[in-house]
Chain A
């Protein structure tokens, strides 16, 4: 599903405006325009599982195509964009996610004789819950650790996207107009004046 036209227009207008400094505009523009091609790390089934899991972890049907969390995570992992640490008990980030997605799909096949992607949302949620609690059968990894790392990676990618930020009314990126109002009364008054 495509994002709402008015959200896209509002975001594009913000990115084109003089409300952003040049480095901020460059960072957000690059993310807004980023498209992911063929997966670099995950195979086709893993990508399908990841996209389906993302849609349940962060249900935002009108934003999912534009943000493309599966593509974004695949690209980040393939480029070795680590976050500076990992649980000593877990394998490398790439291996953790690969094994985790395999385990999730294998559990779908074992329990429901269907790939994870084709399950009902309720069954997908049930499997994700069992991953979150560490009950998902997962060879070689702790499913709960994987779930935590997956969720953290996805929410950070999602809420960094300009469309998502604008959709929740966040305007902290508008950094070019000097001193900002901070107090409750001042922030409320600003909002009132802006309509």
Chain B
């Protein structure tokens, strides 16, 4: 959007297709699996990560198509974990560098949230819309949090609590509380990238090509990228370019670079793969809840951001959780191995189920990494192998959270607690840093090795931050674009 609006000729290559949500999106989880990246990824390590569902997306709008729409900002101290704790990494930019972009993204998406927001630095500009209505899980979390002394607030979510208008986008309707954010929003109430940014990019003259899978980057004799090689329905294609922005995410971005032997003089490409600890606690309540109703993460607490009794670095936030039935039962099967009569009896009470979860920082570790496997996929390309193990810090944090969440949910009236240990999001593998000795890109997303190669996705996170990543990623993207444009002018 930014680059096209600045008058540059922009071609966007998207591996997936373009959707018409009103006609294409069913309120049905299996039908919506077309939004997930289904090329097989191999998972190893002590805590192998599930991919496919909700950890990667395909289509115009990318993973924001199945984004839950959580939109909390990172906190200033998230960016300086190493300075504060002596572990992890500092970011080469600060909260203040991103602050104006947070404000811009919140306005563009139409984030619904409370003013003032109870945690973090004071805001110059508040959320553009009032919070979304609280669903059953949110009300119950408020009840339990009060009992255990945790402060809560309606959460910031990138779904509209009222009709919203923006020039170039038009009117978007208020959220209908369908609760299928992770299966694709059929109304345009969620501020996914296809809704909030792509129309503006196209209006400014950007060209968007769907069904294009990038396989290579061609270099000229001076080492600069001169063209992108990609495959579409017609075979192999070549698009000449002056600059490339690689935005394929923390799996496909390093995979492309490793396959082509590019931008890796630091030996950091693929390393420090991170995934947020995301422990969930579910319970059955006497109240009728209907767990799909409403925005899934209605209530938030950032009180455990830096817990006073922590035996770990960093911290986490707590969110209430609504859920769709197939997702719920699949998680129970994988995490709890619940089967037989116990499973059927539990699912008979699905309408009375509500959850809470955490989103916690994950320390980078060089052995948590993406490499290329020996196996080839349908395209004839090596499948990515992702090795991931939670470290001592993540384990301690999850144990701390387990105590807090279990007490909170019991106080709220939950019975039959179910624990789902999981990690969420794909971060790292092409981290940014101050020097090319130990980082792949600089603070502006520019490769240390190749001057006209930029990476603009969550692979560049040097540390995981203790918040859901999408809002920060969008803010970072706008900043990267502005820094690029400033560099051209000077």
Which residues of A line the B interface, CB within 8 A? 20-24, 26-28, 31, 56-60, 82-89, 125, 128, 132, 147-148, 151-152, 155-156, 158-160, 165, 168-175, 178-184, 187-188, 191
Q: Which residues of B contact A28 (CB under 8 A)?
A: 26, 28
| Given A28-B26, A84-B37: 18 more A-B contacts, CB < 8 Å | A27-B30, A60-B344, A83-B53, A84-B41, A87-B48, A88-B48, A152-B334, A155-B329, A155-B332, A168-B350, A170-B350, A172-B292, A179-B177, A180-B177, A182-B133, A182-B135, A184-B140, A188-B288
CB distance from B323 to the nearest CB of A (A): 10
Q: Which residues of A contact B136 (CB under 8 A)?
A: 182-184, 187
Complex CA–CA separation, A20 to B26 (angstroms): 9
B8 at the interface (CB under 8 A from A): no
A184 engages B139 (CB within 8 Å) = yes
CB distance from A164 to the nearest CB of B (A): 9
B311 at the interface (CB under 8 A from A): no
B368 at the interface (CB under 8 A from A): no
B6 at the interface (CB under 8 A from A): no
Assuming the contacts A87-B43, A132-B337, A180-B178, asked whether A191 and B288 have C-beta atoms less than 8 A apart, the reply is yes
Please tell me which one of the listed residues A24, A84, A168, A179 contacts residue B348 in the complex, with CB atoms under 8 A apart. A168
Assuming the contacts A83-B38, A172-B290, A175-B27, asked whether A57 and B177 have C-beta atoms less than 8 A apart, the reply is no
A27 engages B31 (CB within 8 Å) = yes
Assuming the contacts A148-B334, A187-B288, asked whether A21 and B27 have C-beta atoms less than 8 A apart, the reply is yes
A172 engages B179 (CB within 8 Å) = yes
Q: Which residues of A contact B50 (CB under 8 A)?
A: 85
B329 engages A156 (CB within 8 Å) = yes
B339 engages A151 (CB within 8 Å) = yes
Closest 5 CB pairs of A and B: A84-B52, A182-B294, A172-B292, A85-B51, A27-B31
B27 engages A84 (CB within 8 Å) = no
CB distance from B464 to the nearest CB of A (A): 20
Best-buried of B27, B38, B373 by chain A (most CB within 10 Å): B27
B174 engages A88 (CB within 8 Å) = no
The contact sample of 23 A-B pairs, CB cut-off 8 A, is A20-B27, A21-B186, A24-B26, A56-B340, A57-B339, A58-B340, A83-B36, A83-B52, A85-B40, A86-B40, A152-B333, A156-B333, A168-B350, A169-B350, A170-B350, A171-B290, A172-B179, A173-B27, A179-B174, A179-B176, A180-B177, A184-B136, A187-B136
B414 at the interface (CB under 8 A from A): no
Q: Which residues of A contact B25 (CB under 8 A)?
A: 23
How many B residues are at the interface, by size bracket? 35 or more
Complex CA–CA separation, A132 to B343 (angstroms): 15
Complex CA–CA separation, A85 to B386 (angstroms): 10
Complex CA–CA separation, A11 to B31 (angstroms): 18
The chain A residue with its CB closest to the CB of B52 is: A84
Chain B window 111-125, contacts with chain A (Cβ cutoff 8 Å), 1 for yes, 0 for no: 000000000000000
B176 engages A180 (CB within 8 Å) = yes
**Which residues of B21-36 have CB atoms within 8 Å of chain A's CB atoms?**
23-31, 36
Chain B window 309-344, contacts with chain A (Cβ cutoff 8 Å), 1 for yes, 0 for no: 000000000000000111001101110010111011
Q: Which residues of A contact B326 (CB under 8 A)?
A: 156, 159-160
B293 engages A182 (CB within 8 Å) = yes
B324 engages A172 (CB within 8 Å) = yes
B40 engages A23 (CB within 8 Å) = no
Q: Which residues of B contact A59 (CB under 8 A)?
A: 340-341, 344
B134 at the interface (CB under 8 A from A): yes
CB distance from B56 to the nearest CB of A (A): 7
CB distance from A142 to the nearest CB of B (A): 12
